[in-house]
Structure 1
Amino acid sequence: MRCFMPGVAFVPALLVTWSSAAFIIPYVVAVLGGHVDPLVPYISDTGTKPPESGIFGFMINISSLLGVATMYIRYLIIEKQNESSHFISSSFNILSLSIGLMGCVGMGIVATFQELSVPSVHDIGALVAFGSVIVFASQISMTKIHWIPSEKDYVYHFVSAICEWIVAFGFILFFFTFIRDFQMNHVSPKHPVHGYFKNLDYTSIK
């Protein structure tokens, strides 16, 4: 894999691939099992009932860990760049890392606390991970999986679900843009015994 993904590019590449599968596979299983409607269900709806709930929880939690690794490596790269040129403020870099880690924690909460079993905790995780979906979702007065177009709040549900899918794949595309930058950087342990990743060796890939 390193032949095609030099540097540390394999980390965001794996995140993009795995996360895409984490959204798509549970959806397909849930639709085939008749557990959700095929037309734009909430992402969380596709991981509510077994067997897709187990697949969804496992894969999203792995995505969260990959997201943490990606955000941390990005933080290290920017810190290293700041040593030679003032690329970005160090405090802003820390803020960016913190926001990224919060999003990853939110994803973990969404995957662990399912929508129908612990809705309040699930909603908090969804708010942390997908803050901009909340505008339409807050207008929905009920929590359910199967919707009929004539029902009250159906429009809010439909628009909110579309926004959730757009935000989710927007994140994936955002991480996809990291691949090129990560190709030009290597992360090597300064103290292998303790496992600290502090030295960055920059190598241009031609």
Structure 2
Amino acid sequence: MSAASQTVTDSRIVRLGYHGSTSVASDVIRLAGRDEAETILSEYDIAEAFEAVRSGRQDVMIAKFAVREPDLATTRTLTEDARAVVVAAGHPLAAHDSVSVEDVAAYHCFDRPGDFPPCIWDEVVPPHTPAGRPLNRRHRVAVVPEMMRLVATGAGVHLTVLSLADVAPAGVRVVPVHDLPPAPVTLAWPRERELPEHVRDFIAAAEKEAGR
């Protein structure tokens, strides 16, 4: 490939932020009608979930649950990520094909990491179950591997999304939670930033395909 063609190709690269599993990112890339070679995936820190896209290190990021940051624009819901709970392999909940969030309330859960917005965390790990049982949001960790290690000890369980099963290590199990709504998946970017045309095209194509 010539230097000129390399420049043209690179100019269409979308720097796409994600968290946890890359499977949802792959779904969004397919919706946009792009090849994964046309994207650079970079994982953002959940404790500072929006910092990389705000600083310009990412063009656009995959967000889950409702984003209520006034400086960020979002697409319509592109896809969904079912709910699940991460438990130790020997945990009582690990023996089930799916569980209720009411069952999860019997165990210590995780509180929001870092500066993660409280209103979004209330959707990830609700303060109470639908029946009114409090969820004890006790543990705080900054990164997924740290959370997985703590869960593997049996010290707590983590309400999350099912796609996290893709990155779950030995010693833990990701069990579907059947009575929480799935997490809506959107793309988010700074509202006041003028995005490059190819990034705008990526966002528009994903929204159009999701709306079919």
Task: Specify the TM-score bucket, using the shorter chain as the normaliser.
Answer: under 0.3
Higher relative contact order (CA 8 A, sep 6+): 2
Higher helix share: 1
TM-score normalized with structure 2 length: 0.24
TM-score normalized with structure 1 length: 0.24
Rg: which structure is higher?
1
Higher strand share: 2
